[in-house]
Amino acid sequence: MDSVDSESLTVSFTKLDDQSKSDLTKSLDLLIQRGYEEIDIIGVDGGSSEHILGIWASMYEAILGCKIRAIHRDRISYRYHPDDGDLRISMKPGTEFSIFSMEKTESVTLTGAKWEINNQELEFSTLGLHNICLDNEICINSTGKLIVIFPNYYSSE
């Protein structure tokens, strides 16, 4: 980690030298390479504002083979990858959620929502911001990676 003085550490660690990736991206890649199938990133709400976008970018660019969630104080950000197939998320009717693509995605389908998307192109925009679940479940399928943000039902707020 760039921000830690490794000389003062009294625990073992793995040095990841690649400066073209963030510490989080390097850590996610290492955990996936070690065979982890699900990773929850906690404590993501602290720090500067640009860290939130950086966290989503790390989730987005991490190698395949793992479910990745960032646990916020009141929300959960989930990385969807097309190799995952249909993503089904259970939530109460009326629940607000958002989906974002960080790059041009040829085809996104969203069902179970007030504003459904049917095989539509999605880019980094506000199109997926503040949708509403109509049923007890939303279903997402896409040809590209997405970040899906929904309530953290375990929040104390």
pLDDT in tens, 138-153: 999 999 999 999 998 7
* pLDDT one-digit tens code per residue, 16-29: 676 778 889 989 99
Does a structural domain hold residue 130?
yes
Say how many domains are in the chain.
Answer: 1
Q: pTM for the full model?
A: 0.84
pLDDT at residue 23, rounded to an integer = 86
Does a structural domain hold residue 4?
no
Torsion of CA 145, 147, 148, 149, to 10 degrees: 180
pLDDT at residue 22, rounded to an integer = 84
Does a structural domain hold residue 3?
no
- Which three-class secondary structure state does DSSP give residue 9? coil
Does a structural domain hold residue 86?
yes
Does a structural domain hold residue 10?
no
Does a structural domain hold residue 108?
yes
Query: Confidence band (pLDDT; 50, 70, 90) for 38?
Result: very high
| CATH code of the domain containing 44 | 3.40.50.10240
Range 4-16 average pLDDT: 64
Does a structural domain hold residue 115?
yes
Does a structural domain hold residue 58?
yes
Q: How many helices (H) and strands (E) does the chain have?
A: 2, 10
- The domain of 141 spans 19-151
